[in-house]
Chain A
Amino acid sequence: MKQPGLLILGNGGAAIHAVSAARSAGYEGEINQVSDMEGPAFNPMLSPYYLKGIIPWDRCFPFGADFYFKHDVTCHFGSAVEKLDPVNKKVLLKNGRNISYDNCLIATGARALVPPVPGLNESGRIFTLRTAQSAKRLEEIISSAKKIVVLGASLVALKVTEILRKRGVDVILVVRSGHILRRSAHPVSAVLLQDYFSKQGVDIRLECSLKGLDSYGRGVTCRFPDSIIEEGDFVAVCTGVEPSVEFLEPGQIEMDEAILVDEKMKASVEGLYAAGDVCQGLNLMTGKRELLGLWGNACYQGRIAGLNMAGVVDAVHHGTIPQHVSPFFDWKYGQLGDVHRHGENVRILSGGDPEKEGFYLFVFDDGVLVGVNLINRFQGAGRLKSAIFRKVDFSDLVRGGFCPSYDEIIDRISFICI
């Protein structure tokens, strides 16, 4: 009877780095890995580059097919998890197989959330962008579609919009709130991006939401407030994600929006870990555990989980801050930290032209940098991130009505990495 070893549920960034870390730490026991998809690990970050024709399909699988052989992993691919039994430490797969474990990592990621709009899900004419399969489906759709309604104002919504526009598809972008990128962008930055997207031919509808939808064979009729009707070929649903935990029973492990873990990636039940988009890690800006949805962060979390599962006692993950950088047409937009701080001691410094030297927006709270938006101005942006982490003091520059130049802010952080 084989010694039950490590079980990895999922095949994304967190899962791969957990396997890699466990083996590097000297773990020699059995590692089983389960995934509902076939094939090597897929990086969803790369599908827009594929769909824009920048990379070939095989480059969306950066770890390669021989990763599992090299790391001595037994693969159970193509079958989702049916049930988890944390008391007896085993899982049941949909294909009927049982796998026992000593330590199990839940790294099943998140999936696109479809809002409960009447007619939406049943129409058969919606698509999302998250998995390899969905990327291939979008590719098919683009080849015939003329007009698509995109629901949502997230990064994914904008990436899908860009892919569609680049292929000459008309897009209506339906945004529920007053500006796009409600979480990531300060309103000032959002307006610049909205204007830019409009110039690329995107029809942006702010403070708008889909009331209902009828499909009619080769298309859909969308109903909006104020009796507005729009026809389209498909609807792209980019309104958010939910963790892929359908195999968990309510109350089985502690959850909020997603699975709650400590700094060692341990869940509330012995022998269970969680990492990546399925869990809530520490957001250093708020001090709370949140679903952050970042590839790099998922990888680090996976590594820490893997080390702990392999018996390394002092591996901890200290949390991270919201951060991303995304290309949109000829622009690059990025965000660090929290740009939505309000209060007596908050100062906002902003300037620059996105088309010339680049646009920046810095949010200071009590003299400390807490949030950043950048458009086309990324030289040394990692130093800005470091400044947020290290709570670098800018109070002499940003207090008292004295308005520092961009160069003076950057001057201050040029030394901080030491």
Chain B
Amino acid sequence: MKQLAFSFDVNRCTGCMACVVSCLDQNDLPGGAVSFRHVTKLEQGTFPSAKISFMSLSCQHCGDAPCLMVCPTGAISKRDEDGVVVVDRNLCVGCYSCVLACPFGAPQFEYGTMTKCDFCHARIDSGMVPACVSVCPTHALGFGPIEELTKATKEKASVTILSSLLTAGSR
């Protein structure tokens, strides 16, 4: 299985939120509180040397997904071919256990059941790229098999792969 992951270059991200909106457009979401991708701002220091950075985050499709572990109905699963974490909304009872489990704030609720970033797997299956990655004006957002992304990090210190939960553990 070639686990897919997002890559993110914090030095390139301007906080423009094109990624957030293209995801809303792709998935017909209302926006506001219900959004698969979030951009948050980090301010460090004070005048005259303050720095403002941004972070774009969605579901990280963790190798050892805590949402999957805590889901009581088995609604959440990982795809065999690429590790994309998907939810079967027909099995979801809206218990919100996944909301407490996810450190990234990925699970969203709409019509009482959970929904979230699905890595645009339908697009990927057809050789296209996820909506958020395709629009990013400064190419701060990327994606790919995690082994390839790891190689790229070694060349560029600022590329962060959010693999905090990609531990080797049982599925």
Instruction: Classify A-B as touching or not with yes or no (CB < 8 A).
Output: yes
Q: Which residues of A contact B (CB under 8 A)?
A: 20-21, 24-25, 43, 45-46, 49, 54-55, 59, 62-63, 295-296, 299-300, 303, 307, 323-325, 327, 332, 334, 336, 378-383, 385-386, 411, 414-418
Per-position 1/0 for B139-171, Cβ under 8 A of A: 000000000000000000000101010000111
Taking the complex as formed, is B120 at the interface, i.e. its CB lies under 8 A from any CB of chain A? no
8 Å CB contact of A296 from B57, B70, B171 = B70
Is B170 touching A382 in the complex (CB atoms < 8 A)?
A: no
Q: Which of B83-98 contact A (CB under 8 A)?
A: 91, 93-97
* 19 pairs, A vs B, C-beta closer than 8 Å: A54-B93, A55-B73, A55-B93, A63-B74, A295-B97, A296-B66, A296-B69, A325-B100, A327-B94, A334-B96, A378-B100, A381-B96, A381-B99, A381-B100, A382-B105, A414-B55, A415-B42, A417-B103, A418-B164
Is B105 touching A325 in the complex (CB atoms < 8 A)?
A: no
Given known A21-B170, A334-B100, A382-B101, contact A46–B164 (CB-CB < 8 A): no
Is A62 touching B105 in the complex (CB atoms < 8 A)?
A: no
In whole angstroms, how far apart are the Cα atoms of A418 and B164 in the complex?
8
Taking the complex as formed, is B1 at the interface, i.e. its CB lies under 8 A from any CB of chain A? no
B47: min CB distance to chain A, Å:
17
Is B104 touching A45 in the complex (CB atoms < 8 A)?
A: no
**In the complex, what residues of B have CB within 8 A of residue A336's CB?**
100
8 Å CB contact of B69 from A45, A300, A327 = A300
B102: min CB distance to chain A, Å:
4
Q: Which of B48-98 contact A (CB under 8 A)?
A: 55, 57, 66, 69-70, 72-74, 91, 93-97
A130: min CB distance to chain B, Å:
15
Sorting the interface of chain B by its residue count into under 10, 10 to 19, 20 to 34 or 35 or more gives 20 to 34
**In the complex, what residues of B have CB within 8 A of residue A54's CB?**
93
In whole angstroms, how far apart are the Cα atoms of A386 and B57 in the complex?
15
Is B57 touching A417 in the complex (CB atoms < 8 A)?
A: yes
In whole angstroms, how far apart are the Cα atoms of A319 and B113 in the complex?
29
Across the A-B interface, the 4 shortest Cβ-Cβ residue pairs: A296-B70, A380-B105, A414-B40, A24-B170
**In the complex, what residues of A have CB within 8 A of residue B99's CB?**
325, 378, 381-382
**In the complex, what residues of A have CB within 8 A of residue B104's CB?**
382-383, 417
Per-position 1/0 for B22-46, Cβ under 8 A of A: 0000000000010000101110000
**In the complex, what residues of B have CB within 8 A of residue A327's CB?**
94-96
Is A46 touching B93 in the complex (CB atoms < 8 A)?
A: yes
Is B105 touching A24 in the complex (CB atoms < 8 A)?
A: no
In whole angstroms, how far apart are the Cα atoms of A295 and B171 in the complex?
17
Is B102 touching A325 in the complex (CB atoms < 8 A)?
A: no
Q: Which residue of B lies closest to A306 (CB)?
A: B170
**In the complex, what residues of B have CB within 8 A of residue A300's CB?**
69
**In the complex, what residues of A have CB within 8 A of residue B164's CB?**
417-418
In whole angstroms, how far apart are the Cα atoms of A336 and B40 in the complex?
23
**In the complex, what residues of A have CB within 8 A of residue B97's CB?**
45, 295-296, 325
Is B105 touching A379 in the complex (CB atoms < 8 A)?
A: yes
Is A20 touching B170 in the complex (CB atoms < 8 A)?
A: yes
**In the complex, what residues of B have CB within 8 A of residue A49's CB?**
93, 95
